[in-house]
Chain A
Amino acid sequence: MMALIVALATPSDMQVIARFEAAIEGDLAHDAADEDLLAASTRWTLGVETRLSAATLMHLEGALRGAGRTPSPGEWRGLAPARGRAEATAELGEAWLSHRRGPLRLDVGQLIVRWGVMDLQSPNDVLNPMDLRDGPPRAGATDVPVRPIPMLRASHVSDDLSLELVWQPFFVPHWGSATDSDWAATRLDPSLAGALSLTDLLVAPSASEALQPLLLTPDPPEAWPSNGSVAARVGTSGEGLDLHAQVSWAWDRTPTLRVDPELTALLVAAREDDLPTLLRLYPRVAPRLADGGRAVEARHERTLTAGVDAAMAVDAYVVKAEVAATPGRTLYDAALQPVRAPALSWAVGVDWLDDEALSATLELSGLTPLRDGEYLLFGRGWAQAGGVAQWRPSQVEGVEVTLALQHALTARAWAASPTVAWSPPRASADALRHTLAAGLLLLDGEAGTLMGAFGHNDAAHLRYTLSL
């Protein structure tokens, strides 16, 4: 395939993407049960972007990813001794064809399309699922944590108006882990964390990874054209202002999850070594599940979302605002029961760039449920301030310092990720680029917040990147 691409393209038309990354991350403290203390990963990315004809552009990118995690010696995970896990996966990245005829453009394939104007929390960036396998992105990361998915995009662009239509034929959930990681969804609720013990007991490590998507999304919408999602965005740009409005009819990627209440009680009992309860519930739950009963029922709902966003240049700053409203969003109440409630997601922010040496982004964002209630992770409404600053000191060549911060305004919770990266000078632009980066990820927060739930995952990381 690659040979065919090279043969079809002239050298000046082709851009090659080649990158190798190796990273190691160590937990700063052994402060929670079932923790992985050390995680290592490698990633080979190879891609090409080439013009097949004057009107057709092709992009093909893939990666080989290896990852391994190890708990501290003697650690137990639920009812079983914790064990190290390793996995290797081949992943298709962005892979698309883009054909243009005058002001019309058609993009088809596995795409990343990011709408909205915010960098940190964008209410209108709804098209691609997130890649949450390794938790939040570390400052200075080379990849955006979004998962490319199959879609078709048609766009019409004129001098003063742009129109985009997107069709996603399949539902694709967020990419994450249900039980098999320190960033697993079950860590959100301690009573569910006992599930860790079951998967570790019942399946081999190699199968556990494959099982995660099924655990996270046990009942995905069928892959059928009528189950596709559609979205449209219209915008105008000029004279210092970008203004866009959009609407989507798409699957809410948060499932309405209902766990068999006796199974939940069983998991809690397993976690708390409550043998009498275990012995009482097991004979009732096990036959029911063996007879085809469902332990977990998960439904996804389709929802209509409308949003607007704007970015405006004001002197040396770019001021941004974004809002999205939906009549039904899947939330969870304090008793872990799913609730569909109308909600408003919003964000305002400002970008500032001083030459190339210093740049900063500051954003204020939140989620406001439009129905009274106390919701898991969001309380009665969630607001947070976040920012990213990047500094390239002129005194030290090749050094880049990045600091990302997030601080909740409606609860006690925060996260910080400082990173220092260094790339030694190269003889020419064609020479290989080596980058070494070191950084921290720190989180803390009260119970019921995302930062609190994953607060024991404070870590230091070292990352090496080689790029062509």
Chain B
Amino acid sequence: MNRLRLTRWALCAAMLLSLGAPAAAQTPDAATLVASATARNGFGFDQGSARVRLSITGGDQAPKERVLRARTLRGGAGGPRTVLRFLSPSEVQGAAFLLVEQPGDAPDDMHLYLPALKRTRRIAGSQKDGSFMGTDFTYADLEYRDVKTAAYSPVTEASLDGVPCWRVEARPTAPAAGVSRVVLHIRRDNGLIQRSELHAADDRLLKRYTLRAFAALEGKPTPSEAEMHTVETGRTTRLTIDEVDTRAPLDPADFTPESLSRG
């Protein structure tokens, strides 16, 4: 946590210092740049609550939609804790998912409450490479796992659809789900990931993440709409985040396996 704060401060300081400085000095360090862009969770906030809509379209299947409430808590024992509680549709209503991130390469702790069984079950940590609730996102995508622990190429300047970006390549040190290279375009104006492309070992493009919209949240730019497209299936999952409340009162007791059965 402290390291993240430090890296963000370092980034801010670097950006402030870079104003008016020669072009060569403006290029940030890759690790610092990526750490800043991935410091918040996959739903765009450090700690708080948000309502998330996941719309799945394309491919050879009918459109699907899932609505959930995501809450993230930092602090306490272990890493950040996230609870996802599904609100609709009926087949997943009442299901709840708890993710307790572990430092380093240790597998995260994951539990799922299934209302049909009235039971909370542990899920294997390696399943984070699998689909997140049937969407094109994996649990690893939502944690930026492939790019957080990686070797980086030097940062270069790039323009993406007219948006000035920093371009950096990340090669995961522990490749998972077939991803061996991730090409990131990070917006120069606000530090958000504008696009990330996940490639296989044979350099085939597997998936593409695109930021579609963002909004200011307490002065910080925060993604409000993004999508993940899977090339092989032609399917796209659009993630829409609203009702973000970073001041929502959060109780650590709600972020435990025992509490998943009680909304």
Contacts and interface: CB of A to CB of B under 8 A. Distances in A.
Interface stretch (B25-33, B100-108, B146-154): B100-108
Interface string B76-117: 111000000001111101100000101000110111000011
Contacts of A316: 124, 126-127
Nearest to B88: A429
B65 A119 contact: no
Nearest to B257: A237
A315 B124 contact: yes
Given A355-B131, A356-B134, A102 B253 contact: yes
A426 interface: yes
Contacts of B106: 239-240
A354 B130 contact: yes
B95 to A, nearest CB: 11
A233 B174 CA distance: 38
Interface in A309-324: 311-318
A318 B122 contact: yes
A89 interface: no
B119 interface: yes
A397 B65 CA distance: 15
B119 A353 contact: no
Contacts of B111: 237
B61 interface: yes
Contact of A318 (B94, B118, B124): B124
Interface in A278-333: 311-318
B249 A54 contact: yes
Contact of B124 (A51, A235, A317, A397): A317
Contacts of A315: 124, 126
B256 A157 contact: yes
Nearest to B106: A239
Interface in B204-263: 243, 249, 251-253, 256-259, 262-263
Contacts of A430: 88-89
B93 A313 contact: no
Interface in B55-79: 60-67, 76-78
Contacts of A134: none
A49 B249 contact: no
Interface in A257-271: none
A382 to B, nearest CB: 23
9 contacts: A102-B251, A105-B262, A142-B116, A159-B252, A160-B77, A162-B257, A354-B130, A355-B130, A426-B89
Given A107-B262, A351-B122, 11 more contacts: A15-B263, A17-B93, A49-B263, A51-B263, A100-B253, A313-B125, A356-B133, A397-B61, A425-B61, A429-B66, A430-B89
